[in-house]
Structure 1
């Protein structure tokens, strides 16, 4: 009985001693921690917190009401400035004895809650010739760090960049859980881990930001990542530019706009993505969205050859490697717009409910040796009226940026072309049906050649002024002497076709090159321009009208 009593007394005294030790050590640890932050930052940062709890026996620590504040000091040249608050940081199962004896830090769990961080990049950090890994940076502190479970909840981040294209980015909320985290020499080469962990599950919500001069705003509603499933899911992606005229007052580039409800990266190599910046995936699927391009109308473009806008040029010139087996897009509305500077009117071409399958998207030299072609199949509705099917092949292993394209468009009313023909060409279609349009184009960075076949019936037009009033005389002359109203001209006759051979101006990007090639072939078919091969003399529309009138009065034998 006495023995049991002494055991109880001994345990009580031990617990009391441990409690007293925790009470004594807590303020000492708090003071040491704040001093350490100030010393290691050369006085640029100081740490404040409301409460520190310790349990040395179980390896437990809790820090609450934390503030990390940047202090302006003389000759502060730091590239990145950080300020932030954290509700609580809680650590459990810290092996102090093993850490003190062997410099091996073993922790059961680390939980961070209610963090709000502000980061400002003031200038680009100086490049270092020798890159050090995280394990090398932490080696003076611990040779090995293992963490059983990491939990980050309710994390917000506000980023400001004074140096680059991204001016502002805000993350309203993120949550992350990671299991079996290991940091030691050589762990960076362990392909079974992502960001040092065996498994990561992350969620982000409400990202928003803007680019330089607020030309664009971007946002993401929701995102998820699961390393075991090798999957990233993004929802509610938006890229929104300024209104047209304010945008072009600031920028001298084409204006882009994008929205996408869903984007999923499947069977993604996350180790290569985070360790090497390489994008490798079996499939990328995007659905229900829109993509719009407004051509730059404001004078001269930046000097140089815009062949770099060709899709194969973009991929070839990327610094990082890309290997994607397929990209599958569905229910995408595409719009292209141009403004005629002399009138300020805007022409619009819509491709609605577009579906596309892209295969073999890669800039990996070894893979391109066996198959150099990226192939695309597209299905869309031109102006929401006519079905268009296209096959496009891009050669990915040549500096000429070769491409082959063929397509077929079904029937549509010719009046549906007015949203582009009236504002840009001053031509209003008043009657007619386009029965079909077929084309085959071969091109590269220097030229495009091909053939355009179109069948149509009873096409009549009006030439219009800037206020949309009809030019009576010119309309009469065009419909009488220039325009071929039917193709074929009579039933049973062989239909006309337009052969195209165009030298590409250095200032023309890819989409404008394709548009000009198709338009030239179409105009050849309907009689507005002479068919290829082209002569050196450029024949204007008025000159062609008067030549046709003159031919009527020539004497014939």
Structure 2
């Protein structure tokens, strides 16, 4: 038996084991760090590679997506031109230069022949725009356009309104989200900001030639989403969740340049659905009376209209853009001032006013109107007429006028439910005489039917002489009217009704004007005859019996306005009572 002597290896001391473990960890850490370094380097390489690729392809891809959105989305109605597009993959941003969107004339004529032109079209010139926060990978790999913000301070926008038949307004069109498929599955933009751009709104009808020019426009559009889900969201205006717009320095001129319009601001917020017009004014381009009538050459009224503020509440902007429907709960006009001047020495304006009563003009509007109520607060009206024979100016004033109006609509469905538009007017006339009137307009009438009732109280000779002397060469030496009440109805051809008037101390002085000196003198003999045998100085008379004008009938001439017919009918009734030919009660 052979025995081998084996040398026994002593165990490692504990401090050596710790040292060995430390060395092992150190080697592992270095290997891991080297691995991370290689991994980071690889990822950087991949990132740089993707950045280079993206820089090469993102710009053209965005360009192509814009073309699809504009041209294909409008079914060829618009053309698209872009001079420069600088895309940055690293920042997810794009700089756009000289973007122009125009209407394709051939396609426009084709749609026009089919009566399929949208009610509102657009032309756009953008010098520079900034697109920030683009979802590059979504754009490259999933056909989704995701953008944080689009911003421009350098743009001109032209909006053109097209007249379309009401029966074709609700015809279905290919939805935008469907028209851009399959090239684009989704467009999602957090915000579009327009800062100080120029905006022109005009009518495509050259006969109308209406143009509204805004020198400065600020607008913010939040949460724009173009897909099938957003298209079903009725709270969106188009595809936009929230809109805030402010227009400054409105300018407008009539086609014949006789009138111009301006406003300090127009504001709209979709959050509270309020459209507001601030410091509005319409006035003749030629402010001097002689220059105005030299230009128009006829008895056209020279008008100036101003108001501090007009506000539409619950205004449905989406309805107006898509279907040209003016829909709101209420319209409030604050402190309007109306100034009307007519020179009767000019040749008469031989223009038919048939079919131009207030409610007839409402019914004939191209846009559909759905306004539940309107209120006018603290209005003042001044009417001045230069007499044809006297060449003097008579003045009628209405002050502190409040008006309320309900059911302002030309929508056939709403008219079936309620065919009456009612307006109530309260205020003062000829200074401080209380005025109260109510108008009923029958919207379902084919001949302009209307009713009007009203009363005026406490009018004296001094007040009426402001009209009687310059317009009729007649002076009221004395007159005290306690009240005037009337109930009238009318249509396109005539007005009829009843007039009641109580007064006393009526004495009229007839005058004549010397053509050479211009001085007024009294027609003494004719004045005595008229006051003694024609006019009655009081009503009721000494016997206590009251005269009334029932019925009063006045035929309308074709050139007579709505208020002209009412005044002539009312004046006929007053004459009937004053000359003792009225009915005795």
* TM-score relative to the length of structure 1: 0.79
Relative to 1, partners in 2 of residues 1:178 and 1:23: Cα closer, same or farther, differing over 3 Å? closer
Relative to 1, partners in 2 of residues 1:82 and 1:352: Cα closer, same or farther, differing over 3 Å? same
Shift of 1:472: 2.8
Q: Output the CA distance in 1 between the equivalents of 2:325 and 2:254.
A: 24
The equivalent of 2:522 in structure 1 is 471
Relative to 1, partners in 2 of residues 1:517 and 1:138: Cα closer, same or farther, differing over 3 Å? farther
SS at structure 2 position matched to 1:213:
coil
Q: Is the 8 A contact 2:188 2:226 kept in 1?
A: yes
Shift of 1:442: 1.7
The equivalent of 1:208 in structure 2 is 251
251-260 or 398-407, which moves further after superposition? 251-260
The equivalent of 1:403 in structure 2 is 450
Give the 5 Å matches for 1:404-483: 404-466=451-513, 467=518, 469-473=520-524, 474-483=526-535
What's the Cα RMSD here? 4.2
Aligned match of 1:224 in 245, 258, 267?
Answer: 267
Aligned match of 2:194 in 138, 142, 152?
Answer: 152
Q: Is the 8 A contact 2:145 2:187 kept in 1?
A: yes
Q: Given the alignment of the two structures, is residue 289 of structure 1 paired with residue 336 of structure 2, yes or no?
A: yes
The equivalent of 1:536 in structure 2 is none
Shift of 1:357: 0.9
Q: Given the alignment of the two structures, is residue 394 of structure 1 paired with residue 441 of structure 2, yes or no?
A: yes
The equivalent of 1:537 in structure 2 is none
The equivalent of 1:62 in structure 2 is 95
Shift of 1:495: 2.7
SS at structure 1 position matched to 2:184:
coil
Q: Output the CA distance in 2 between the equivalents of 1:26 and 1:142.
A: 15
Q: Is the 8 A contact 1:462 1:470 kept in 2?
A: no
Q: Output the CA distance in 1 between the equivalents of 2:582 and 2:380.
A: 33
- What stretches of structure 2 of length at least 5 have no aligned partner? 1-32, 103-108, 113-120
The equivalent of 1:542 in structure 2 is none
244-253 or 494-503, which moves further after superposition? 244-253
Relative to 1, partners in 2 of residues 1:411 and 1:136: Cα closer, same or farther, differing over 3 Å? same
Q: Output the CA distance in 2 between the equivalents of 1:400 and 1:23.
A: 70
Q: Output the CA distance in 2 between the equivalents of 1:59 and 1:338.
A: 68
Aligned match of 1:265 in 274, 287, 312?
Answer: 312
Residue by residue, what CA displacement relative to the aligned partner does 1:217-251 show, whole Å, maximum 9, x if unpaired? 11121222122322212211211124445444338
Residue by residue, what CA displacement relative to the aligned partner does 1:193-226 show, whole Å, maximum 9, x if unpaired? 1122122122222211211121111112122212
192-201 or 13-22, which moves further after superposition? 13-22
SS at structure 1 position matched to 2:466:
helix
- What stretches of structure 1 of length at least 5 have no aligned partner? 71-76, 534-557
Give the 5 Å matches for 1:67-146: 84=125, 86-94=127-135, 96-101=136-141, 103=143, 105-117=144-156, 119=158, 134-135=176-177, 138=180, 142-146=184-188
Q: Output the CA distance in 1 between the equivalents of 2:583 and 2:357.
A: 25
Aligned match of 1:331 in 364, 369, 378?
Answer: 378
The equivalent of 1:176 in structure 2 is 219
Shift of 1:363: 2.4
Residue by residue, what CA displacement relative to the aligned partner does 1:112-143 show, whole Å, maximum 9, x if unpaired? 2322427598x999x99996655566558635
The equivalent of 1:369 in structure 2 is 416
Shift of 1:171: 1.0
Q: Given the alignment of the two structures, is residue 496 of structure 1 paired with residue 547 of structure 2, yes or no?
A: yes
Q: Output the CA distance in 2 between the equivalents of 1:138 and 1:216.
A: 44
Relative to 1, partners in 2 of residues 1:8 and 1:328: Cα closer, same or farther, differing over 3 Å? same
Q: Is the 8 A contact 1:441 1:449 kept in 2?
A: yes
SS at structure 1 position matched to 2:434:
strand
Shift of 1:347: 3.1
Relative to 1, partners in 2 of residues 1:453 and 1:160: Cα closer, same or farther, differing over 3 Å? closer
Residue by residue, what CA displacement relative to the aligned partner does 1:236-288 show, whole Å, maximum 9, x if unpaired? 12111244454443386544432121111112333322221122222111111
Q: Output the CA distance in 2 between the equivalents of 1:281 and 1:450.
A: 35
Structure of greater Rg: 2
Aligned match of 1:192 in 235, 248, 254?
Answer: 235
Shift of 1:414: 2.1
SS at structure 2 position matched to 1:93:
coil
Q: Output the CA distance in 1 between the equivalents of 2:541 and 2:504.
A: 9
Q: Given the alignment of the two structures, is residue 6 of structure 1 paired with residue 53 of structure 2, yes or no?
A: no
Q: Is the 8 A contact 1:239 1:259 kept in 2?
A: yes
Aligned match of 2:296 in 247, 250, 266?
Answer: 250
Q: Output the CA distance in 1 between the equivalents of 2:159 and 2:357.
A: 35
Q: Output the CA distance in 2 between the equivalents of 1:394 and 1:24.
A: 68
Q: Output the CA distance in 1 between the equivalents of 2:141 and 2:57.
A: 20
Q: Is the 8 A contact 1:501 1:532 kept in 2?
A: no
Shift of 1:521: 1.4
Relative to 1, partners in 2 of residues 1:328 and 1:124: Cα closer, same or farther, differing over 3 Å? closer
Q: Is the 8 A contact 1:111 1:151 kept in 2?
A: yes
Q: Output the CA distance in 1 between the equivalents of 2:388 and 2:176.
A: 55
The equivalent of 2:357 in structure 1 is 310
SS at structure 2 position matched to 1:268:
coil
Q: Output the CA distance in 2 between the equivalents of 1:22 and 1:520.
A: 85
SS at structure 2 position matched to 1:273:
helix
The equivalent of 2:571 in structure 1 is 519
* TM-score relative to the length of structure 2: 0.76
Residue by residue, what CA displacement relative to the aligned partner does 1:403-447 show, whole Å, maximum 9, x if unpaired? 221112121222212232223222222332222111111222222
Shift of 1:192: 2.0
Residue by residue, what CA displacement relative to the aligned partner does 1:51-89 show, whole Å, maximum 9, x if unpaired? x6422255321236x57699xxxxxx9x99968454532
